[in-house]
């Protein structure tokens, strides 16, 4: 009986102690859905999927921009994003799960369809953090989650660059303004390293401006240098900037984008993304390039964000679209209305 009383007392004490401890587990995330309609062609306009030899496959898809996500006409689903975070005194972990069309397109690789991010970290000191696992890329202005992007549709720079990395990175807070990140990783967007070799990454930050580097020698992405930053031009006006150059075996892409954004009120903002994106290849002088303009308004009501958006993409010497008369066209315009709820 004495042993039973002692055990009961210990269990009661542990429950009381646990109740006094602050909760360290947090749950956050978002859901999003949208409606999109083409303005310069019918929503029923379709493009035949070609095989590697340029022959028709008999499979047809709706006409859309050549960027990631929000590529359906009519009503479409984004993703349900659920983020579980546990924070200890010096260590912690994050499990970021993405379900739905946007999540599947972002995660992809193999059977790990729902893992957007999955990593553990150790705050070695006040200025040094080690992180190991799968984490979203440090390159570029835009991210996978629609909550953190001003525009709902994504840029060509984002869509052609890496989405995520699996590896080990070290973040150093050198001073209040300077930061440094070094990483060794699997080649980009690969949960399992089946190609051999590894990728190296680095980021140098100063006062909100970041110079990013990526390199692998296994013909996955090759070498990419990327600048991401922005400036507050006034209390209400912000200008974001992204520029990148990528090369692999004398081929690759380049581009730049500007993101002016104006906050009219606490709940309503309007922003423009103007982007020039092109491909380059040795001994080829006239590869097609695209200029894409996206005008987005953002209205916030509690945790709900409503984003109406108009986008126009115009190619230089290629005609990848059809117009309302089903004639080949260099341009495509579309209207999108997105609803994003974060929690």
Q: What is the 3-state secondary structure (H, E, C) of the chain?
A: CHHHHHHHHHHHHHHHHHHHCCCCEEEEEEEEEEEEEECCCCCCCEEEEECCCCCEEEEEEECCCCCCCCCCCEEEEEEEEEEEEEECCCEEEEEEEEECHHHHHHHCCCCCCCEEEEEEEEECCCCEEEEEEEEECCCCCCCCCCCCCCCCCCCHHHHHCCCEEEEEEEEEECCCCEEEEEEEECCCCCCCCCCCCCEEEEEEEECCEEEEEEEECCCCCCEEEEEEEEEECCCCEEEEEEEEEEEECCEEEEEEEEEEEEECCCCEEEEEEEEEEEEEECCECCCCEEEEEEEEEEEEECCEEEEEEEEEEEECCCCCEECCCCCEECEEEEEEEEEEEEC
Structural domain total, the chain: 1
Q: Does residue 302 lie in a domain region?
A: yes
Is the pLDDT at 143 greater than 90? The verdict is yes
The reply to whether 3 falls in a domain is no
pLDDT (tens digit, 9 = 90+) per residue, 213-245? 999 987 788 999 999 999 999 999 999 999 999
How does pLDDT run across 90-121, given as a tens digit for each residue? Answer: 999 999 999 999 988 888 655 567 899 999 99
What are 252-280's pLDDT values in tens digits? 999 999 999 999 999 999 999 999 999 99
The answer to whether residue 4 sits within a structural domain is: no
Within 10 angstroms of residue 266's Cβ, the number of other Cβ atoms is 7
Q: What is the pLDDT of residue 269?
A: 98
- The answer to whether residue 6 sits within a structural domain is no
pLDDT at 146: 97
Q: What percentage of the chain carries pLDDT values higher than 90?
A: 70
Domain membership flag for residue 213: yes
What pTM value is reported for the model?
0.87
- Is residue 324 situated within a structural domain? yes
Neighbours of 186 (CB within 10 A): 22
Q: pLDDT class for 2, splitting at 50, 70, 90?
A: very low
Which of 46-55, 124-133, 158-167, 173-182 has the lowest average pLDDT? Answer: 46-55
What average pLDDT does this structure show over 54-67?
A: 74
Tokens (6 digits) for 147:
């909550």
Residue 250 pLDDT level (bands cut at 50, 70, 90): confident
User: What pLDDT does 246 receive?
Assistant: 96
pLDDT at 1 over 70: no
- For range 64-72, the mean pLDDT: 92
Domain annotation covers residue 1: no
- Per-residue pLDDT band for 20 (boundaries 50, 70, 90) equals very low
Give the CATH number, domain containing residue 163. 2.40.160.10
Residue 179 belongs to some domain of the structure:
yes
- The torsion angles phi and psi of 20, rounded to 5 degrees, stand at -75, -25
**Between these two residues, 49 and 210, which has the higher pLDDT value?**
210
Domain carrying residue 33 = 24-342
CB-CB contact of 39 with 21 (8 Å): no
When mean pLDDT is compared across 9-13, 108-112, 282-286, the lowest value belongs to: 9-13
Mean pLDDT of the chain: 88
pLDDT average, residue stretch 285-314: 96
- In the predicted structure, residue 14 carries a pLDDT above the cut 60: no
Give the C-alpha separation, 61 to 78, whole Å: 18
Q: Does residue 48 register a pLDDT over 80?
A: no
| C-alpha span between 71 and 63 (Å, rounded) | 8
pLDDT at 110: 55
Write b or e for each residue in 312-336: b if 16 or more Cβ atoms lie within 10 A of its Cβ, otherwise e: bbebeeeebbbbeeeeebbbbbbeb
């Amino acid at each position: 009986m004495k042993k039973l009383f002692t055990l009961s007392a210990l269990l009661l004490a542990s429950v009381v102690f646990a109740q006094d401890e602050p909760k360290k587990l947090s749950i956050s995330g978002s859901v999003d859905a949208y409606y999109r309609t083409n303005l310069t062609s019918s929503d029923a306009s379709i493009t035949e999927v070609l095989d590697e030899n340029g022959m028709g496959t008999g499979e047809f898809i709706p006409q859309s921009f050549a960027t990631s996500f929000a590529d359906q006409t009519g009503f479409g689903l984004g993703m349900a994003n659920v983020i579980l975070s546990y924070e200890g005194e010096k260590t912690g972990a994050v499990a970021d799960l993405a379900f739905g069309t946007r999540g599947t397109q972002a995660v992809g690789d193999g059977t790990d369809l729902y893992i957007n991010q999955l990593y553990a970290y150790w705050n070695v000191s006040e200025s040094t953090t080690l992180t190991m696992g799968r984490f979203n890329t440090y390159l570029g202005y835009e991210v996978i989650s629609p909550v953190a992007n001003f525009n709902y549709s994504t840029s060509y720079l984002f869509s052609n660059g890496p989405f995520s990395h699996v590896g080990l990175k070290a973040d150093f807070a050198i001073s209040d303004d300077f930061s440094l990140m070094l990483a060794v990783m699997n080649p980009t967007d690969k949960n399992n390293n089946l190609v051999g070799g590894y990728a190296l990454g680095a980021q140098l930050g100063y006062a909100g401006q970041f110079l990013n580097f990526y390199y692998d020698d296994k013909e996955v992405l090759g070498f990419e240098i990327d600048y991401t930053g922005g400036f507050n031009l006034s209390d209400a006006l912000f200008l974001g900037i992204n520029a990148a150059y990528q090369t692999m075996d004398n081929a690759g892409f380049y581009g730049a984008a500007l993101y002016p954004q104006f906050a009219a009120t606490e709940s309503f903002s309007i922003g423009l993304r103007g982007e020039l994106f092109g491909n380059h290849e040795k001994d080829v002088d006239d590869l097609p390039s695209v200029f894409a303009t996206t005008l987005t308004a953002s209205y916030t009501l509690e945790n709900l964000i409503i984003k109406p958006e108009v986008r126009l993409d115009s190619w230089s010497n290629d005609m990848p679209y059809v117009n309302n008369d089903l004639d080949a066209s260099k341009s495509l315009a579309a209207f999108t209305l997105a609803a994003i709820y974060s929690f």
